[in-house]
Chains A and B, each alone.
Chain A
Amino acid sequence: MPAPTSVRPVRIVLAKVGLDGHDRGVKVVARALRDAGYEVIYTGLRQTPEMVVDAALQEDAQVIGLSIHSGAHMTLFPAVVEELKRRKATDIVVFGGGIIPEDDIATLKAEGVAELFTPGTPLQGIVDWLRSRFPEGAR
């Protein structure tokens, strides 16, 4: 169902953190979220946590989606959450995707990452999760 026109669509900053350049997943997700009616800003590769939070604040985004395939998620995902705390922007929801072992998921959630999507996740699963987080399409 499309969001009612009177409310602003949810804005999502998608970012590749870390050094790897595997952008297949993030690009597919970006297109799918755009097709589902979200406003998507894709930052491109090799964003530091500071750059990601800057982009989210500048774009007035409600959501940050992080993608990583290098194995550095345990360092970089919490660093984004920390940076949001430092900038007093903890209302921005952070989710992530990539090759993330099961054991790490619980730890990352405890550290403030709202949800993690691993290989094999249907695109609709990500859309459904966003719909449940933002039922009115806006804050």
Chain B
Amino acid sequence: MKVRARDAKEAWEEDFESAPSRDDGVETSTISGIPLAPLYTSSDLPKREEELPGQFPYTRGIHPSGYRGRLWTMRQFSGFATAEETNRRYKYLLANGQTGLSVAFDMPTLMGQDSDALTSRGEIGHCGVAIDSLADMETLFDGIPLGDITTSMTINSPAAILLCMYIAVAEKQGVPASVLGGTLQNDILKEFIAQKEFIFPPEPSMRLVVDSIEYCAKEVPKWNTISISGYHIREAGSTAAQELAFTLADGMAYVDACIERGMRVDDFASRLSFFFDAHIDFFEEIAKFRAARRIWARWMRERYGAQDERSWKLRFHTQTAGVSLTAQQPELNIARTAIEALAAVLGGTQSLHTNAMDEVLALPTDKAARLALRTQQLLAYETGVANTIDPLGGSYFIEALTDEMERQAEAYFKRIEELGGVIPAIEAGFFQKEIADSAFRYQNELEQRKRLVVGVNEFKVDEEEPIEILRIDPQLESQQVARVRDVRAKRDEARWSKSLSQLRKAAAGTDNLMPYILEAVRAYATEGEIMNTLVEVFGIYTERAVI
């Protein structure tokens, strides 16, 4: 048998060599540049003990029952204009079968400034919902019982403030913090690396992250305190292996920081969560997700000595790749997103956002947002892909590619360690340059037609048909400015002023800042006021721009 098998492979090799080959100049490596063989066979299968779902190192999934136990959470990232408008969109999505909320904030909110700040002009409500104070947050979740739903909030530098606002809204609904479920992005390291929504320097930024992790471990135990994100790293132009490596390296930096604070790894590690991109190179993405689980489990058990199994399990959210969408023939984005979503599902994601076809142009319309959600429902209920756990496990190709991802990630961990760790590597511009190099390489491959994007550099149409897009009413800017001024005018001045001065004092010391921020939020201090108070103590960070 053995001899025959070898003969058969040799025969195939000869046949392959003599067969005609497509000669279109298009790359056969993955979109990240990993060279691929035309065929993988049993000889490519790594020699290792059988891996099973729900068992260390969780390559095949963290749950023994996969999606048979429960499907992924369909969590569409959404927010625009004012809290009232977004509240309406949330109720619409919930009525259409969405199973979790995910808040998108506008740029001023993400950058910790109020709607009436000078540099907020033109930005209010454009790429998310404008939240200035607890009053807006009350409106945002009006009629949505926070005890019955989980909510993800994509916010970083001011993350602690928005979490406190959520806790305070729940209090008003009579829901105790101890039952609240959801996720705070709260991942400042990838902001310095890729998305660049930093405000404070790295050290106080890390303090705020650790403060929130430490606080939630006691007070909000069901909350995912951080969503360690590769998404923005990938969207900024990294390869799949860079996304994987930089994200997990960030994760380890947070673990180190919490341990340094004096926490036990098993007291917080199970509430760390991750967030990855699902790009268009189908198999590479599946391999990336599988490798992520295996690497994390190993590092948590072996390097950090975690003993609780829950600390070993990498749980992640996925969003399909915004950067893969095209403004040209935008309906094609529905097909791209479906394929990317399938990769996320085959990779075992815990929750998923599917982009709407028009998101390359603006925030999605109601119709486009519903189509995106329907794509997930179609995957879950029509295609049968959720019936078998890790259906690609054991594929010669997928297993080899999973190992390759792991190998490349480990090589990056070594380089980061040689640079002194994540923060020194950020300060040296290491990640930023690696990402910019990858982005430039890819763009050049497009220019040289080594990569084809349908509708962009091939299969173009002469006349693009315009599609309907969501417009943000310019009037709402003045409405939101009026609202925040109204909040300032009506609040209890003495309580407000005291809360901020106590926060300032605490920031200069070493106390956990969460209770102070919570009190300021309850006193209707605005987001901008709380941030400015912290800036007085922490200062701001300026990046040295590297091309």
Contact = CB atoms under 8 A, between A and B. Distances in A.
Interface of A: 18-24, 27-28, 30-32, 34, 40, 42-46, 48, 70-76, 99, 101-102, 118-120, 122-124
Contacts of A73: 122
A86 B317 CA distance: 49
A101 B469 CA distance: 9
Given A20-B107, A20-B197, A31-B547, 12 more contacts: A18-B107, A19-B111, A27-B439, A27-B547, A28-B439, A30-B547, A31-B440, A45-B545, A72-B107, A101-B361, A101-B469, A123-B447
A19 B123 contact: yes
A106 to B, nearest CB: 13
- Greatest chain A CB density within 10 A among B191, B326, B327, B542 is at B327
A70 B123 contact: yes
Given A19-B110, A24-B237, A120 B127 contact: no
29 contacts: A19-B119, A19-B120, A20-B127, A20-B197, A21-B195, A21-B196, A21-B197, A22-B196, A23-B545, A24-B235, A24-B435, A24-B439, A28-B237, A28-B440, A31-B436, A32-B443, A40-B547, A42-B545, A45-B196, A48-B119, A70-B107, A70-B123, A70-B127, A73-B122, A99-B360, A119-B360, A120-B326, A120-B455, A122-B447
A101 B328 CA distance: 12
Interface in B73-114: 107-108, 110-111
Nearest to B441: A28
A71 B126 contact: yes
B466 A102 contact: yes
Contacts of A42: 545, 547
A70 B126 contact: yes
Contacts of A124: 447
A19 B195 contact: no
B362 interface: yes
B456 interface: yes
A119 B326 contact: yes
Contacts of B119: 19, 46, 48
A20 B457 CA distance: 28
Secondary structure class of chain B's binding surface, majority of residues: loop
Contacts of B171: none
Nearest to B362: A101
Interface in B423-448: 435-436, 439-440, 443, 446-447
Given A18-B122, A40-B547, A72-B123, A23 B196 contact: yes
A32 B444 CA distance: 9
Contacts of A21: 191, 195-197
Nearest to B107: A19
Contacts of A31: 436, 440, 547
- Greatest chain A CB density within 10 A among B120, B127, B323, B547 is at B547
B121 interface: yes
Interface in B345-369: 360-362
A120 B362 contact: no
Contacts of A22: 195-196, 235-236
A120 B327 contact: yes
B305 to A, nearest CB: 36
**Which 10 pairs from chain A and chain B are nearest by CB?**
A75-B122, A21-B196, A71-B126, A72-B122, A44-B545, A19-B107, A120-B456, A72-B123, A119-B327, A30-B547
B473 to A, nearest CB: 13
Contacts of A27: 436, 439-440, 547
B537 interface: no
A76 B119 CA distance: 10
B106 to A, nearest CB: 8
Contact of A43 (B126, B362, B446, B545): B545
B371 interface: no
Contacts of A120: 326-328, 453, 455-456
B543 interface: yes
Contacts of A99: 327, 360-362
Contacts of A19: 107-108, 110-111, 119-120, 123
Given A19-B123, A44-B543, A118-B327, A123 B362 contact: no
Contacts of A44: 542-545
A58 to B, nearest CB: 16
B147 to A, nearest CB: 34
A119 B446 CA distance: 13
Contacts of A74: 122
Contacts of B71: none
Nearest to A69: B127
A43 to B, nearest CB: 7
A72 B125 CA distance: 10
A20 B440 CA distance: 20
Contacts of B120: 19
B463 to A, nearest CB: 12
A74 B124 CA distance: 12
B443 A28 contact: yes
B125 to A, nearest CB: 9
B472 interface: yes
A49 B124 CA distance: 18
Nearest to B472: A71
- Greatest chain A CB density within 10 A among B110, B122, B195, B362 is at B122
